[in-house]
Amino acid sequence: MPDEARDPMRAAQANMRAAPIKRFFKQVGVGEPEGGGFALLLDGKRTRTPGKRPLVLPTRVVAELIASEWAGQGETIEPAAMPATRLANSAIDGVADAIEETRAEIARYAGADLVCYRASAPVALAQSQAAAFDPVAAWAEATLGARFALSASLTHVAQPQAALDAARAAVDAFADPFALAGLHVMTSLTGSALLALMVARGALAPEAAWRSAHVDEDFQIANWGADEEARARREARWRDFEAASRFVAARV
């Protein structure tokens, strides 16, 4: 089955890949439409998602974040430079219609979570992984009641069902499409449902979670140097991660 058919976030994002278009507005604002929520206003007019649904945001914080992205556009609209807008569109056009499927997709990561797989060598890498991942595993056990098994290789290790159930219960606590969309993005970008849950619960700063997710990559960079294209891709992913963390932090 194609990824976009299985993943509601990717299905919604597939509608947002059109080529950049010329800027068609001068003023950007936030309004409060009847029925609640906050709307993005372009020259005083309410906007819609690529799926033609009203772009109504649940909090002013999120609405102003999105408005700042639109206000910052130049002569051409660049969707790639608007992570919060893309995430809101995904929440409305994709996640809102697939709450259970999105939860299940996030929870699947716990079965092979990044923090459960460690290198046995070189020693420096193993130590860096332990410093980054051990606090996450300890938090999962203490806070979620989920004790995960660790692997000293890339070989898959089956996790205790009790740990998987506890992680799924934590994910199921997210009912709002916007918060759930943010959790999904943080999980998929890090390969770790546990890191995403820590950020979502305020137990770990987004920047710290991002560094933890890139321990291996940073070790390689320290030894072999950085690749400029890879660096640019990582910076773009960080912008997506940061926007997602703001959605969740807004407790929408």
Instruction: To the nearest 10°, report the CA torsion of 101, 106, 110, 116.
Output: 150
How many other CB atoms sit within 10 Å of the CB of residue 246?
A: 18
CA distance 11 to 73: 25
In a domain, 133, yes or no: yes
Are 18 and 118 contained in the same domain? no
Are 153 and 205 contained in the same domain? yes
Are 60 and 124 contained in the same domain? no
Work out the percent of the chain whose per-residue pLDDT is above 90: 85
Are 77 and 141 contained in the same domain? no
Are 227 and 103 contained in the same domain? yes
DSSP state of 28: E
Task: Supply the pLDDT for residue 20.
Answer: 67
In a domain, 88, yes or no: no
In a domain, 240, yes or no: yes
Q: Domain containing 65: what range?
A: 3-81
Are 229 and 126 contained in the same domain? yes
CATH code, 52? 3.30.2180.10
Are 180 and 145 contained in the same domain? yes
Are 7 and 130 contained in the same domain? no
Are 122 and 74 contained in the same domain? no
- Dump pLDDT digits (tens) for 109-162: 999 999 999 999 999 999 999 999 999 999 999 999 999 999 988 789 999 999
Name the 3-class secondary structure at 40.
strand
- Dump pLDDT digits (tens) for 165-218: 999 999 999 999 999 999 999 999 999 999 999 999 999 999 999 999 999 999
Domain boundary among 53, 81, 109: 81
Are 104 and 228 contained in the same domain? yes
Are 112 and 72 contained in the same domain? no
Give yes or no for a contact between 196 and 186, defined as CB atoms under 8 angstroms apart.
yes
CA 239 to chain centre: 10
Number of domains in the chain: 2
Domain boundary among 81, 107, 126: 81
Are 116 and 76 contained in the same domain? no
**Model confidence pTM above 0.85:** yes
